[in-house]
Amino acid sequence: MGTIVDLSLELEALPLGQALASTDGLELELEPVVPIGPRTCPFFWLFDRSSQTRRHDRIATFERRVEQTADIDDLVRVGNVENGVLYRVGWCGDGVAFVDAVVDADGAILEATGTSTEWTVRLRFGDSDRIATFQQYCREHGIPIELVRVVDLEHERSAYPATLTSGQAEALMTASRMGYFERPRETTLAEVATSLEVSPQAAGGRIRRGVSNLVADALPIDDDGTSHRSGRNNY
């Protein structure tokens, strides 16, 4: 039925990570990617979680760094929200060993969140043999990965409400238990992240996407027949 793998990855393992280094406050979220062939053109969101002061400068600095990255073919702004920008980027798979490792094992990148320190990545493989192929490729090509969790897709779907991924459910339950949603708050995002053993940016992303999915699932159908459930964030 398939297997889900959660892992952490050094920034340098993906081209965009080089532009994120030493950019505190910025968080990059790749849209789900199924790598096909040597060229991958994903979309990604860049969020600025810090204050609005100098936000334009921070984003402009990130864009300059991306354009100076050798493996990047092009960077195009697609849209904007209050605290973030949606981009389309093209890079050559020949220079991205981690992407090649996923392709070689017939895997898919479901989620990848980058901060100034690391990537947190979620992959899907057809079976455990494919995971072994992926790990072997990483070892042979010197790609340092840290496995966080490996779980069968069947267990992943049955252990939590269908609306949430396991990472989102764990983050929401931990945050609730620690009083993160109380007013005044009884804990900080950093403390929740420490409990989850992830970065504050990753913890915040999981909480935000989880809440978004729960709200979308709970909202009624609009008068025009449009259901908010179609907007789920399943990564």
Token pair for residue 198?
């992830």
Classify residue 187 by its DSSP letter.
S
Same domain, 165 and 54: no
* Predicted pLDDT of residue 105: 94
Alpha-carbon distance values, 45 to 59, 67, 177, 189 (Å): 11, 16, 29, 21
Report the C-alpha gap between 6 and 201 in whole angstroms: 16
Q: Which of 159, 157, 156, 134 is nearest to 147 (CA)?
A: 134
Same domain, 143 and 184: no
Report the C-alpha gap between 233 and 211 in whole angstroms: 10
Residue 229 predicted with pLDDT over 70 = no
Summarize pLDDT for 130-164 with one digit per residue, the tens: 999 999 999 999 999 988 888 776 555 544 555 67
Domain final residue pick, 131, 153, 175? 153
Same domain, 22 and 103: yes
Burial of 79 (0-12, 13-18, 19+ CB in 10 A): exposed
Same domain, 84 and 24: yes
234 lies in some domain: no
191 lies in some domain: yes
What does the pLDDT average to over 167-172?
85
The helix-helix angle for 97-104 and 128-140 (nearest 10°) equals 150
Same domain, 23 and 97: yes
Same domain, 149 and 176: no
227 lies in some domain: no
Same domain, 55 and 132: yes
* Predicted pLDDT of residue 218: 64
Same domain, 70 and 181: no
* C-beta atoms surrounding 196 within 10 Å: 18
Report the C-alpha gap between 29 and 40 in whole angstroms: 16
What does the pLDDT average to over 21-48?
72
What does the pLDDT average to over 210-215?
80
Q: List the single range of 38-47, 142-151, 170-179 with lowest mean pLDDT.
A: 38-47
Q: How many domains does the chain have?
A: 2
Report the C-alpha gap between 86 and 47 in whole angstroms: 9
Q: What is the CATH number of the domain that holds 216?
A: 1.10.10
* Predicted pLDDT of residue 138: 94
**pLDDT classification of 224: cutoffs 50, 70, 90:** very low
Domain final residue pick, 153, 185, 207? 153
Q: What percent of the chain has pLDDT over 90?
A: 16
Domain final residue pick, 130, 153, 176? 153
Summarize pLDDT for 55-95 with one digit per residue, the tens: 788 888 899 888 887 777 788 898 887 778 899 887 654 56
Report the C-alpha gap between 94 and 34 in whole angstroms: 16
DSSP helix/strand/coil, 70? coil
User: Which of the pair, 131 or 166, is modelled with greater confidence?
Assistant: 131
Residue 35 predicted with pLDDT over 60 = no
Same domain, 120 and 195: no
Report the C-alpha gap between 180 and 5 in whole angstroms: 27
> Which structural domain, as residue segments, surrounds residue 116?
3-153
